[in-house]
Structure formats: C-alpha cells, structure tokens
Structure 1
Amino acid sequence: MAKRARVTVDHAYWVGDEIYTNVDGVPYLVDTGAEVSMTRKCLETKGHLTVQLADGTIKKTPFGVWKGIVWVLGPYNLMTITDLRELHGSPAGRVPLKKRLEILGAKLIQMGSTPLKWYKPVDIPEVTKQKIEESDLSPEGKKALERILSQAGVARFKNDCGDMGIKYTHTIEGGVHPPVRQYPLNPGAVAEMDLIVTELSELGVVREEPNPITNSPIQAVRKPESSGGGWRPVINFKALNRRTVANRASLINPQGTLKTLRLKKYKSCIDLANGFFSLRLAKASQGKTAFTHKGKAYVWERLPQGYKNSPNVFQSAVMDILDGLETTIYIDDVFIADDTEEDHLEKLRKVSDRLTAAGLKLNLKKCQFGQFQVNYLGFQVSNDLGLSDGFRKKVEQIDPPTSLNELQKVLGLCNYVRDHVPSYQKYARPLYVKLRNEEPEGSHKKWEWTATDQKNLENLRIAIKGALRLEPRSLTTKLVAEVSCNEDDAVVKVCNEGAGIVTMWSYTLSSVEKKYPAEEKELAVLARYWSTLKDLAQGQGIRVLTQSQVHRFLRKATVESTKATNARWGRWEDILLDPDLEIGPAQLVGKRKTRSDDTPSEPLEWTLYTDGSRKGTDKEAYWGFILKHKERERSRQRGRVPGSAQTGEVTAILEGLLELERRRVKRARVITDSYYCAQALNEDLSIWEENGFESAKSKKVAHENLWRKIAELRLTMELEVVHQRAHTQEGTHWQGNEEVDRFVQMRQVVFVGIEKWEELPKGRVVPEESVKEVVQAVHGALGHAGTVPTRRELEKQRLWIPEREVRRILKDCELCGRYNAGRRGQRVGGLTIKSTVPWGSICMDVAGPLGVPGRGGEKYLLVLVDSMSGYVTTKAVRKANGNSVVSMLDQVCGYLGVPKELRTDNGTHFRNAKVDQWCQKHGELMRRPFTSQEAGRGLEDTEPKLEQKVPLQVGQRVWIKAQVGAPNAAVKAKYDKSDIVVKILDSNTVQLKKKGIQGVGQLKPVPY
C-alpha cells in the first residue's frame, strides 16, 4: 500500500440513478445511494493497484474506501464495490480485492496481459476541441459548450453503447419461429466476424446460449470501398419478423421530418452512439434472436439491428426522454434550433443532461453544435434545405450497375432527393423501364448495360446536380399546390403562400388515368397526394391551382366524356367538399375580386343593407332590408318566412334585389353580415348555376329556389357584395348593418288607434278606411304569404276583416303579382318562385317498351317537358337510341329554339356519342333532372296521345300479358295464348272473347 493521500471533492451530480463527483478534475463514479453530504467530504486513497487497461497499457490506479464503499479509479470512471462486509470480516473468508475487481467485469478495466484487438479508442479531448472550433458560437458560448460536453455521456470507442435501464426494456410480441439453417460464410469474412462477435460478447450486447430454441442465419455483407472496405455482419431476421406483432407507432418519414423543421439561426445535430445496443431486450425474448457462429449459439441481450420493430421502439423511447423540449427526432438523430445563442445553449444542456441521465451516449464525431448550417439526414440545413456535399459526392461516384440489384440501389439512392428535382420522373422512367424489363436474378439471361442506359443514368445524374433548395413548411400561411398534367406525367409543386417551394412531386399516370379528361387527371393526382397535403398544411388552408376548370362543386355528370368510375368520383367528391380546400384554375383562384370590411369601397349611389334573424322562441325567421341612395333612406321592408336565420338572410337579399329592379337600379352595393351569403354572391352562385344548383354530392343546395331567382336578377345589374362582421363597430358599414339589425328585431306590427275600434266576440272590427292598410301591413310582415296565413295572423291579433276583402286586397299586391305571374311555381317561405325562363331548361325521358306497338311498329315514346311552363312534346319511335333522340331534338328545336340546358337521366339513350355531338354542336349543357320524377312528369299528360298511336280493332287477335312489370322493365314481358277483341269499351280498355275485360297495356297484337 502506498502512503495515504487526500484528494478534494469539487462537486457532485446525479446521472440517472448514479452519482458522479470530480476528484482533482477527474470524474469519479460513486455508488448508487451515496448521500449528497459527500460534497462536504473528501475521498481518502488507501493505495494503488496495478491494472492493464483495455488498450494494452499498464497503469497504477488508486483505490480507497468511502462510507463502506470500495472504489477504484479507472481511466474514465470510478469502479465501486458496494458490499464491504466481507472486508471487515476474518481474513480467511475475505475475497481479495483484486479478485473482487475481476468479478466486476468492467468495460474499461481489463485484468490480464493481452491487449484487445477490437478496442479502437476515440480521442475525446481532441474531438471535443474540434467540435467546439467548428461551432459558430461566441467565445463565451464556446466555453459554455465545452462545459456541457464535459458532463455529457460520450462513446469512448467504436461500439461503445449506453444502458437505458429497465424502464425501456423491450419484449418481442409473437411466437417462436422454426430454426433457419446457417449457410457457410465467405472465407474472407470469417476472421472479421470472429472479432465482431467477440466484441459484442464482451460489451454485453450478445451472450453465448448453450440451449438455443431457434436460429436466424448470420450473413457477411461487404462494405463499400469508400467506407474503408471490410465486412459487416447482418442477421437475417425474416423468419422472426414474420412471427412478430408489428409495432404500429408511426415512424416519421425523413422527408416529412425535413419539411416540418423549424429553421432558426443556431442549429445543432446530435447523433446517438449505437442507440439500439443501449436498449435492453427482455430475458424472455432473448431466445427468439438466436444466431450461430462457428458452431456456437448466441442470443441478443440488447435491441438487434434487422429486427423490424427496432426503429419504432428506439425512436419512441428517445421521444419520451426528450418530451417537452422542442426538438426534431428521427431514430437516433436529434435536431435542435433556436434564434439566440443563450436559448440554444440552454436547450442543448437540457437535451444532453436528459440523454446522459437516460443512459445514452453521444457519438461526438458525428455531432454538430451551434452552427449556422448543419447536415441533417443527408441535406444541408441553413435558411432552406439543399443537398449536402456528401450526398452530391455519392451521386457523382455512382458506377455503372453490374446487376439488377445494383440498379435498384442506384434508383433507391436517387429517389431520396426526388422532391428536389423538377420532373424527376421524366429522367428516372427509362431506368425503371430497364428494371421492369430485366428478368430477376438467378435467371439465365445475362445482364447487359448498354450505352443508352448509361446515357439515361447520366441525364438523371445531371438533373440531381441541378436540384432545387427547398424551404420548410410555414405554420402561418396557406399551402399552395399547383397541379399540372400532360399525357403521361403529372407534377405537383407545393409552396408556402407568397414564399418558396416546399416540395415537388412527379408522378407517372397509370394506363387507366391516361385516358381521363383533364379534370379527372388532376383530381386523380390530387387524391393521390391529398393525405400528404393535409399533413403538410398543419391546420392551415390548402389552395390547389389547376389547369382545367376544376372547382369544388364539380361532379361527374358535368364532366365531358368522363372515364372514371363512380367509386373514384365518390372519393374525389369527398375531397372537393373539404372545408380547408380552395381549388380552381390558376388564373382564377386567389385572384377573384374580394373586399374586406375595412377596405374603402368605390363610390356607389345605392346601398342595400340586409339582415335575417330568428330567436329561440320564434317559429319563423324574420327578414328585412333598408335601401339607401346617397346615404338617404329610400325604402325599408321586413317580413317573416319559415326556416332558419339563414333563410331569412337570403330572403332579405332577394326582396332587396326585387326592390332595386323595380326602381331600375343597375349598380348597387349589398351589405350583409352573413358570410354564407357574401361567399355565395361573390363566388359560389355562378358555380351553382352552372351545375343546376346541385352540390358535388348531387344534392340540392340550400334555398335553391331563392338562389335561382337571385341569379336571374343579377343578370340585370352590377353588384358589389361586402361582408360586414355583425355586432362590431369595425369596418366601413357597421352603422348601416346595426340599423337594419334593429329593424329586423322588431317582432310586432303595431296599429295606431286600435283601442278605438269596435270589439266583437270574433275580434276588433277594422274600419273600412284602415282595412287595406292593415291587410298590407300583416301581409308584408309575413313575407307576402298567401291568404290563409294572412287570415290566421289577423285572427291571432284579434282583428276581424272579411275573408273576401283579404282576397281582394292581396290579389292587387304588386310583389305577389310579380312572383305569381304565369304558371304557378313552388311556394317557398310564402313566396311563389318560378325555376327559370320558358324553354330555358327542358327535361327529356323515354317510356317503353310499350305493350302494344303503334301502326309503324313504334314501341317507345320520347317525352320533352319544359321545366317552367310544363309544355309537353312527344314522339313515338321504334327504337330508343341516340339517333331517335337526336332526330326528335332537331325536329322540336327547329321551331321552338335550342334551350340552354337539357336534363336527362344516365340512360344509354342519352349518354352516347350521337347526343354528345349534338350538344357540343349547339352549345348545350346536359345535366340530370332536378328530381328523379321531373323528366317523366309529363307522361300522364301524354296518355291520350299514346293511345292514339296504339289503337285496337274489333276482331283483332292479341296476346295477353302474363306478368305485369314496370313500363321500362329490363326483363322482356311474357304473354299467354292469343285471344280476340270483341268490344272496345274505351280508349284504354277492351273486352276479349275468353279472358274478359283487359287494359290495352296488357295486350300485344298477333301478327297475321
């Protein structure tokens, strides 16, 4: 024993469950459970022990006892022996200290005389100095960084790994797979495999297993010469992975990680050393990882590489360790960024402390600290993202592939940066064609790499050399995606609104998609990348710019020559209805005329303020408007309408526009506090009108009839629509909006002098001079409802007026007369509104096959019905096909004119090339009917004409229909034996000789 020497304790700090202290500037590991009072004590050296370190050097290291703990100073840590009771016992039962140190089995202290061949130490002080010099920190910041690294756990040699403890122990879920045969290794790789297996055994990563329950083969894979050559062991865990329950935790895609990076001034990248080897494997699961080398079986005690759940399990553990810190993690790579040096160093310290406390070690050689530009996941990260110099060098060093497998590796390397290369698919397609046309390896066909193939590879290399620098996704702006398609390819360029490119996607259309029209091609591409766009948007809106006339109300029936299936269209329509999506041609989307409530409006003489309201106790909605000319009020009206407050708002706009039309106003401003109405008037109304007021799901838009009339009125005037926020004193028009709101909130019609009117049991008798005023007031308050609602409202207010007087006064109502002129339409909210102008929209349908053909063999009846007037035109034809439909359209439209739109079902009679050509020739819009019954509503009116086409004669022999089906049933009707007509009772009924009375529709003439 040497002379006792006292050493001073600088300070103590915890790392996980262990306590460290600095003794004379050297870190010592003090055993678990040591009191913090040691910071006021000192360690006493009992003597020195001669040991041989793992690198082969021999040193004398001090040892001593502190509070019953035997400690020994190693090259980097203090090794301890916690149980000192034997040392206080009799010498006969005491285990020698040297023997006890051997029992410890320390990684850094090796008893013996043979140096370890696998031990490749890292010069930690030199690497630390280099990393500090590479940083862009200030001198004070570099000193702080040095202190952080001095307390961080770092890897001291090549395969050095930490220990994350029992908390993160992983259990392999699944059964045991049958053993897989171990094939002989390459003779040149055996020696290196021996060294690696020995190293992993001494590090506690694997252990020898005398009784293995299964086996996975080990294979030697040659390393590239650029990496120094040699061999790398790979365990083929295919059988294990098939039996293992997959960990469904979402592993972040590296490209997705890069696109969501928060780029700030100071950046650091931390690489964790041998991360998988730091995570323990449960004892019960170790047997499933068995492998064989040189006749001995080994099992993994730590998480192995090649096991399918390793990346997910390890990344989840690291994310749990760094939870609450703003970091980006991809498996064992941690990215940190901050705007100020102080914040960055503080976060770096917290990250380092947490990782070290959890038992993880840093790979200092691959780490980057406090730099303005770093390399992360193969990219240069500064103010934007670009290809790193290392990746460019890899691409430049690509050799001509000598096998199918090597070509796959080349394409895999290039695909990693495809988002940075415009039209990447165009350059890579020839090589993929080569890949598909080649037979799989093992076939007798010889691999051939031609000059053309090499030229294609060079073109791809040149395209990658010109890769764009991208910027991460912004959290404060919309995501803009520009979709462009040609005959074979599609390109999607994704940008931050008003900023740079985030990513670029190129895609080769499938053989089916190449046949699509332009609209369907763009929708197919949008559907392919929609989920990725939603992820990139991060809660912000998405604006999609197209080349064709795609809009969010597009549906299959409005697309010319549609080729896609209904199932695809169902998916596309769901996307188009997404509230975050804004889609349309590039020249229109984002460039429509918009006006906020704070933007000064152009001077217009007429201003219309509208409002709709419905309180909780109200059974109906109230509407009203105030019309002003040069800030002077000219008119105000209000009323009630069944429905919601939204219905009241739309009704107010319609009533106001009718008032403008009556005054022959051509230019006006409409102020509304309903965003729905402002959006509809500014953008949606024209699309609704084009689609027949149907949504993308073929459903009617809300308040269809009101919007139809508004659309007609807009054709006669120029409107500027402004959305004014309700109940706020912000914007230019808040005062007028508040005024109309107060006006609409008035719920009762008050008559002056009502207390003087004579009161009878049935109510107060309204004087003759006030009858017209009272009826018109109540009628107007009800939104110009009919006679019956007006009478009921008078009864509610205890006012008695004869019903004939009410009818007479309402008959002269100017507004109702304007609504109810001509054919009576559908009543909506007490108002009768026509759908469209005469012969502007017609419905067409076919009836048949008929039971009895006409004189010329006509079996079908084509029916045309005018949507407004109900005018019916029919034509009997022998066949219902495109020729007969076009013939009737030419005949009818020759003297009535070509309508604006033709509404039909999707039957083959109308959906064919003949009818499509006719519609294109005349500029016709073909759509489905408003309702399924609309196209055939005139069939009942055509029965007399039909009966004239198929008369029966007395004495005629007929077949009797045996089975009654629909008139247009697809199954051919069956007939019984023939009979003779004895008497014709009426135009649709006859009496037969044997069968009695039958309808004409049940008979079929028998040919003579």
Structure 2
Amino acid sequence: MEIDTGAAISIISEAVYKKTFAHVPLEGSNVTLKTYTGQAIPVKGQFTVRVTYGDQSADLPLVVVQGNGPSLCGRNWLKKIKLDWKTIKRVSQNAKMPAPKALSEVLERYSHVFQDELGTLKDIRAVISVKPNAIPKFHKARPLPFAMKARVERELERLEKENIISPIKHSEWAAPVVPVVKRDGTIRLCGDYKVTVNQATNADVYPLPRIEEVLATLSGGKLFSKIDLASAYQQVLLDEDSKKYTTINTQKGLFVYNRLCFGVNSAVSIFQRIMENLMKNLNVVVYLDDLLVMGKDEAQHLKNLDNVLRRLQKHGLRVKKSKCEFGKTQVEYLGHVLDGKGVYPSKDKVRAIHEAPAPTDVKELRAFLGLVNYYGRFVPRQSTVLSPLYRLLKEQTTWKWGKPEQDSFNKCKELLTSDKVLVHYDPNLPLTLACDASAYGIGAVIQHTAPNGEERPIAYASRTLSPAEKKYSQIEKEALSLVYGVKKFHQYLWGRQFNLVTDHRPLLTLFGENKGLPTMAAARIQRWAIILSAYDYHIVYQQSGKHGNADGLSRVPLSETTDAGTETMSAYIDALICEHLEGVPLTAKQIARATRKDKELSRLYRYIMEGWPREIPDEMKVYHRKRDELSVEQGCVLWGTRVVTPMRLRTAVLREIHGGHPGIVRMKSNARQYVWWPSIDSHIEKVCKECETCQLEQHMPRSAPLHPWEFPGDVWKRLHIDFAGPFLGGMFMVVVDAFSKWLEVYRMAHATSTATITRLKRLFAAYGVPEQIVTDNATTFMSDEFQQFVRRNGILHTTGAPRHPARNGLAERYVSTFKTGMKKLMREDLSMEDKISHFLLWYRTTPNSTTGESPADLFLKRHVRTRLDFLKPSIGETVRRKQYRQKEEHDRHATE
C-alpha cells in the first residue's frame, strides 16, 4: 500500500477488493471522492479492517473505488497510526541528475520556471462540479464609474490576448464583474460568483493540510526555500464544460474564463488537490500556491529544491521569483517562524496584545477589560491580577495610572498571549473571525470553538485608523474592520468555511454571503464586498455587549496605520467616481457648503458619519431606506456615484440638465449620471411640462417601414448619412455611427457631391474610413463622382429604395432629432455654430435609449467633460490632499 499524505481517505480498488477481501461484505458509503482535476471517482462502498503497525492496532475504514488503481494509505489512517517515517521507502519518479553544488546552479538550471509569462499546467483540466438540478443565474453588467471604463476595457483586452478569457455571444450563466484596483494602479477583474455559480456548486471538501501536521514534517530543517507561484489559479486550464459557469457580463459583452479563476468557491479545493498530487513524493510542503522546501544541510536542501523546480518545469508552471526566498536559515510560513532550532509562533500573531498601549481613560480601560473577561475563564487568578485595574472603575475614583496598574496591565497581556489562552489552528474545528471598529482603531481576533462550546483565540490583530479612514462613516469603519481581519488572517481563512462576526447589523445586508453587491453602494463598500466574496463565510450579528474581544482590540490599537502607498491608492480608487472637469456654475465645494447649511442634508451627513438613531424623523425616512448606499466624499453626500443635491441648488441643477431641452426621458437619463434627491423624477417632469419651448416643439414621430439592420460589432463600421434642409437658411449633413449613435453635423451651402466628398474626407481623416455607408437615392449620393469616391476607399455603399426612407431610418431619425433640438435653441442668444455645438454636446453626452450608454462613452471610450461634472468632488484634489498629509506625517516622524 502506497502512503499518500495528499489523500484524505485510504482506498483500495475494486480489483484488489475482489482478490483479497471478497469474503468481507461492503457497507454503504457517503464519501465523495474526486481526482485532483476535480472529476468524480465512483465509490463502491466501504468496510472496516484491522490495521497493525508495530505495537499499534486500530479498526479503520477502507473505501473501495471503481477500477484497478493503486491502494493508498491516506491521512485518515495516518492520524490513527503513527509511522516511523525514517523507515518508509520514498518513491521518486524523477530521472537521475547530477547533484547540484550551488544554489545559483539550481536556479540557473530551471530559469524557465522564473520566466515572466503565464504558465500553463500540462495535461490537466480543472472541473467545476455543479448540482444536477442547478438553475442557471444570469445577471446584467453593472454600471461602472466613467474613469474606470477605459481601464476595464484595456484589462479585458489583455485577458483576451493572453487567452485567459474568450468572448461568447450567449450564455445561461453570467456574473456581474467588479474591477478592483491594485496598489500599482492596474485593474483586477473579479466575477461576483456568489450570486451565480457559488450557490450551485457541489461542496468540494478536499481538506487543506493541518498546520500542526505541516510543521511536524519541517522539524530538523536547517535551510529553507519558499516558492510562490505566479497567478497560480490562472495557470490551470478549465475543462470545456466548466467554462460556462465562469461567464462574466461586462460593458463589452459576455466572456468565459478559459482558466481557473478567482472567486469560484471550489477553486481552493481544486487547486490544493492538484498541487498535492503534482508534488507527491517530494520533500516539499504544499499550502495552495505557497511551497516550502527544507533540508537538514546544504546538500539535502539543494537536492530537494532541484527536485521541486524540476517538477514545476516539467508540468509547465511558473514562479514569481520576486516573492520567493531561497536558501534561508529562517523563514516565516503559515504564521510560524522556522529555523534550525525549531518552530515558533510568529510574534505578529500576538503583537496586537504585546504592544497594545495602556488605556488613557475609563472608556478605554473598560474596553480592554472586556477583552480580558471574554477569555477570563482561561486566565488563572483573574480577580487578583485585575484588582488594580478594577479600582479605577469605581465611582468617584480619580484616574491615576501608576506602577500597580501598569504591572497588572502587563500581566494581563502576558496571560492573553500564553498557552493557557491561545490555541493552535486546527482545520477540523469551527472557525470564527470577530471584528470591530472604534472612532480611531480597528481590531480582529480569530478563534476556534471547541466541542464543549468554549472559544479560544488563535491570533489577535489591531491597528490605528489613518487620518483619511477616521473620516469614514461608521458603517464604512465597521466594514473596513471586516476586510482588515480577513486580509490579516488570510492564511487561516482561505479555502474553508468560517463565521464572520460583527456588532453592526447593516453589514449583514451589504455583505450577506448570498447577496449581490448593492449597485448604489459607495465605491469602497463595493470594492470590499468583492474582496470578501472570495471567502466562504457566514456573517453573524452579535450584540455589542457580547463582542468584547474585538471591541477591546479596536480601542487599544497598535499605532501603525496603512502604509502611504496603500492610502494613496485608496484615495485614488474612492475618487474614481468623482471626475474632475472645468467651467461650470456649480462646483463640489459649493455643494459641500450648501450641504452644511441644508437642514435635511446636514442631519443626513451627521447620521452617515456617526450612525443612525433608533427613532427616524419622518422627513429622513426616504434617506434611511438608502442608508447602506450613502457615503460622504469631500463634504458631499453621495448615493452611489450620484450627488445628493441640497434644496437651494436643485433649481440650478435642473436648469443645467434642461439646457438642451432634451425632453423628459433623456433629462431623467442624464440626471441619473450625476444627481439625486427625493422626488427628482417628478421635479424633472414638472420642468419639462412648464417649458414653453418643449411644448411647442413636441410632436409624435411618423411611422415608416422598418429595415432590420444587423447591429455592427464596433464603432465606425457603418455610417448612415442624410441631409436636413433646406432648414434655418441652409443645408446640414447629418452623419450617424450605427454602433455608438455618435452624431456629426456639418452646415453646408449646397448639398453637392463635391461638397459632400470634401466633408467626408475631413471626417475620415479624423476617425478613419468606415466599412459601409448607408444613404438614400438622392442625386448627391448616386453620382459617378460619389460612386468613384466610395470605390477608391473600399467602402460598401448601400442605398434605400425610393419612397422607403426607413431603409435609412437611422439617419432620418437623427435628422428629425437635430431639427427638433435646433428649433428649441432658436430662442437662445447664440450664433448658429454655437447652437450646433451646444446641441451636439448635449446629445453626445446623454445616454441613448437603445444602447443605454452615451454616444461619447461608446465612441471615444472615455467620459466627455460637461458642465455637470463639477458637481462631483475632484479626483485630483482628493489624492493631492491625502498625499500632502502623508508627507507631513512622514516628515514629522523623520525629524523625531
């Protein structure tokens, strides 16, 4: 029987069973087994056998599987029978190679492994197993901040170019995608699979190795090497049937992943299974994408490292060399420090307690004692140790922190970090992460729940909020504490179920494990929700009075905050929703000033920052319904990315939106890009109905036979051209891009072929030559001169039939739109050219009813500046202000 530490269960084949154990009846088995690629292994049943090794004996289950594969002794037997590993013969499939003499020789020999390219695991496909009765879930693409759109498109192009994703036309499954900005400013696209496939996958319970077991195999090591796989999941190809479950819905359409992707809940188990099988029979520890190689001396270490790198190279995998460590006498791995003397818990696990500052007032002392009392039953002589601290809580006692109090405080910290309280991480015990936030700090504690219900901490963490974070609303601080705890204890949480405990009930709505992202949530809340969506958690509410462990850490946090790079990037991300433009009558600063003076919004601002009261005034209930989606940026209240406009500025905002007399539907569509307040839709309708110009020019469009044009695949492929006129004393050539609905209008003295060609040459010089143009049968377009022009430029010229203008209905429609818009502007004191420019800017920046996007966004692939954009806070100002504060903070410490 082959010993396989990568196998959770001990198994034999059906052939071996019939040959050796046919006389023993099989029992039913509820065990589910899979290959390391995720494919199911049919189980025939199981029976109990007497296992003897030396002087040890135990009755253990043995599972029988279909086929005639090898017999494996898995971890369930190894836990019961303690083997003498020195006597176990190691099987190696590696070809003999000369022993390396130096570390540089090993790294050079396998330089291919370190190439800066995406690896591809050979001959293996990952399988995402979905329940047979699963109902497909299709979600539409979520709207993106304007400043994100171009970068998301570039990332989609990169992923497609590297064959990580592929476009598809149809899918029953589709997850919305949310971009996460990394520290270097690049985008990572994440599918929100918790609302689609994660609800339908079969539970893949392939266990991660117990850290204690891992560490036991490392004892005696003198030299260590840590290996970090680059973009680990994406090096594993998906099988064809699994790809459909990874479909993402984006502004550019549907895509499927060709490789294992971030966010699918079974990906962790799939990847661990694959890696353990790939590294089988090698002296290496595998924990997801982190590999650890050790050796008792330099020769053994080099040999082991050589074998591991050879296996990686053989299977086509790539390593991120900048994150690796080679030939070290001490490394940190899985929360422990390893060196030649042994294995020690990392000081970082208890630093939040060891370095916690002494309380400065009664409130902070109560919070710290809440932490001590939470684990008090494990603290010996608790009342004696704490008596100097409890004396300070007595009424009419003057606060005086002296040596007795400091000694008691230090003793408490020593006990909280001792073996009497702390426990080792055990993957078989329920896991809980409790997080909390105060006005100035955040804290988290990760703990196990024993079978008797006792909770024992594994590690603690805390930090002080940065100046920017202290300005977050309370719900954002509480959300930040969850993300901080999850990221801090990632190595314990990744790939397994856990309870996420908070004392802030609204977070259950925002971060519920089966809920989608709230579309109108603040940008950072959406970003944090995506980070959490990669973890398999159940969020739990706990009353503040029972939340003393995390609360205590948040009120005596370590003095460290986020590093400057992280804070700058956070400022940049949060400000992406606030594009910075010029020349408008209203600015974000004016909005902020008016917000402070507005009775309703000043109260709303306070509620967002400090928390909502139990009793909600009637006039605030409309805001309370959106409370989880409201945030504050530079003194402005935002609902998602829309500015909540103070009462006295609403008339000016409506006047600005109505400037081009766009009509009710387009005016509402434009407003939804920028502003919101209660009853805004009815206010817009009132403005349009009271506008004399709009009422005079209102008309019903005429009907005409339709021609079902195929929708073009990109901008500037098919143009529709027509003339408006004679109109307002001249002729106007109207050109419409069929994809984006981008409109060009040229005033012309005469609609001749020569004049038309001259205008089109300038147009093509700016945007390129289209594949096709559609016109009517007018003489201008049917002349020999015009026909030669389109032939020379390789343009397909399509014309409509006489008396059927709807064959070129797109141009006809926008001729009518242009005429209506210009008539509404005739009362304005503007030149003809200014009126045309005014109309075009309004039209191009208003979302189109067919595409749902503005023509400018689709055609230019960027947001076009308008006067409304200054209503929003400035991205540049946000980043500059935070960078300046960081510089001041750095300089202050540098001179101390």
TM-score, normalised via structure 2 length: 0.31
Higher Cα radius of gyration: 1
Greater share of helix: 2
Greater share of strand: 1
TM-score, normalised via structure 1 length: 0.27
Q: Return the structure number with greater relative CO, CA threshold 8 A, min gap 6.
A: 2
